[in-house]
Amino acid sequence: MIEMVEINKMLVPAAIAGVAVAVFTTIIGLIPVVNLLNLACCLWLMAGGVLAVYLLKRGVGKIELKDGAIVGALSGVFFAVIDTIFSAVLMLIGIGANLAAMQQAFQGSGVETPGVAAIGLIAMVFLFGVNLVFGVIFCTIGGVIGAKLFER
């Protein structure tokens, strides 16, 4: 029986894969029409899990399914952090969601509204949560698939 790979050996492959998926989905999201490819985001996330397993296997040799699941999940965490940072930066420079329009819509409804900064913070916390859930789930699935693909 093969011993499980140490977590510290999984961090670099997971970070590379998570950052790669975050960069790829961000760039794709900025290109009109091509951004429709992000509708297949779960495929990109699973590809990130597969990439993490590939990089891990290259570094340590034999891996088990549980190693694939763990390195995949870790890549999902890295994806969530990096993608949320990218989204925050894009929002700050005006490419992202139009917070001023959101605030005007709230004010038009007569509801007391928080400031633009508070709306942005709430949006980023929500986005991080969504990224974390989807990133971990689908990168883990990709990690298991990758471990099975590269098990020989």
d(CA 44, CA 58): 21
DSSP string covering 16-46: HHHHHHHHHHHHHHHSTTGGGGGGGHHHHHH
Over residues 10-68, the pLDDT tens digits come to 999 999 999 999 999 888 877 777 667 667 768 899 999 999 999 999 999 889 999 99
d(CA 79, CA 127): 12
What token pair was written down for 119? Answer: 């709306």
**Whole-number pLDDT of residue 111:** 65
Per the confidence metrics, is the pTM higher than 0.85?
no
**Whole-number pLDDT of residue 125:** 93
